[in-house]
Amino acid sequence: MNKSYNEKTAIITGGSRGLGAAIVEEFAKHNYNVVINYNNSKTKANKLKNEIEEKYPVKAIIIKADVSNEEEVIKMMEETVKTFGRIDVLVNNAGICNDSLLEDKTPDMFRTILDTNLVGPFITMKHIGTYMYNEGEGSIVNISSTNGIDTYYPESMDYDASKAGLISLNHNFAKQFAPLVRVNCVAPGWIKTDMSSGLNEEQLEQAYNNILLGRFAEPSEIAESVYFAATASYLNNSVIEVDGGSTE
Ligand code: NAP
């Protein structure tokens, strides 16, 4: 089937705010219908849906699903297919962190981070990736982090491990779904979102000094790379670091 451009559909997990909202807008800008997945931020998801539909000639729907809950992910997939008849792109953006001192970290907290950041993408790729594979084409982008590659912070050892694990998962799913579904990873450095808003002046200055561009990314700047990774036809099984030139 020759798919017409403006019929394409992208699911963005954690799409109501932060980087996810910028990714939603980037795909809408390129004429994709978008699924704005949220877990808690329903009001923000609704507001974004209205803004997107006002600004671009596309349809946006919001779907509540905790990515670590298999049943909810399957329902999200089914609702997407029912509404749009297809899924072209999945962006695994949903993520959490819980920076804390080692003495305050517990195995349960560690598992909670892994559940959302690693088991979540496993579930979404298992089901939505398999759907795409059976349809004969598709593209997946996983949002990891430079913390999962070479920028380690003991306070976020749980988060860093989850993001390293996601890169491993990316490689295995790329193999699993080859040659029909491309699976790539974008590993951002610091981004201006709620997740990075807790840094104090000293930490900010130190972070800026380690970035050649001397500043954090706007969410839209990372979203551009995510769109590129999703649509570049010969890009597969790659990990793209988008960190402004980290010198750490
Ligand atoms: P954020 O502002 O804290 O937003 C996190 C998003 O994840 C929210 O939309 C949230 O949805 C969603 N989410 C969390 N748990 C979820 C779950 N169980 N199911 C579904 N959605 C869930 O974070 P951000 O900075 O935009 O981060 C987006 C991604 O970029 C994450 O994977 C993060 O690790 C990665 N990243 C961020 C930075 C940075 O400096 N900010 C750097 C590198 C990588 P609700 O509000 O609806 O719960």
**Signed CA dihedral, 174, 248, 218, 40: sign only:** positive
Task: Give the Cα separation of 240 and 150 in Å (integer).
Answer: 13
Q: Whose CA is nearest to atom 23 of ligand 1?
A: 195
Q: Which residues of the chain have pLDDT under 50?
A: 1-5
Does 67 sit in the ligand 1 pocket, CB within 6 Å? yes
pLDDT at 1: 37
pLDDT at 248: 78
pLDDT at 2: 41
Does 66 sit in the ligand 1 pocket, CB within 6 Å? yes
Cα of 7 from ligand 1 centre, angstroms:
27
pTM: 0.97
User: 150-185 burial string, b = 16+ CB within 10 Å, else e?
Assistant: ebeeeebbbbbbbbbbbbebbeebbeebeeebbbbb
Task: Give the Cα separation of 138 and 218 in Å (integer).
Answer: 27
Does 162 sit in the ligand 1 pocket, CB within 6 Å? no
Provide the token pair at 192: 């201006």
Of 118, 193, 225, the one to substitute when testing ligand 1's pocket (max ligand atoms within 8 A of C-beta) is: 193
DSSP labels, 123-180: HHIIIIIHHHHHHT-EEEEEE--GGGTT---GGGHHHHHHHHHHHHHHHHHHHHHTTT
Which amino acid, residue 98? N
pLDDT at 6: 56
The number of helices, as runs of H, and strands, as runs of E, in the chain is: 9, 7
pLDDT at 4: 44
- Sorted by sequence, the CB contacts under 8 Å of residue 150 that are 6+ apart come out as 248
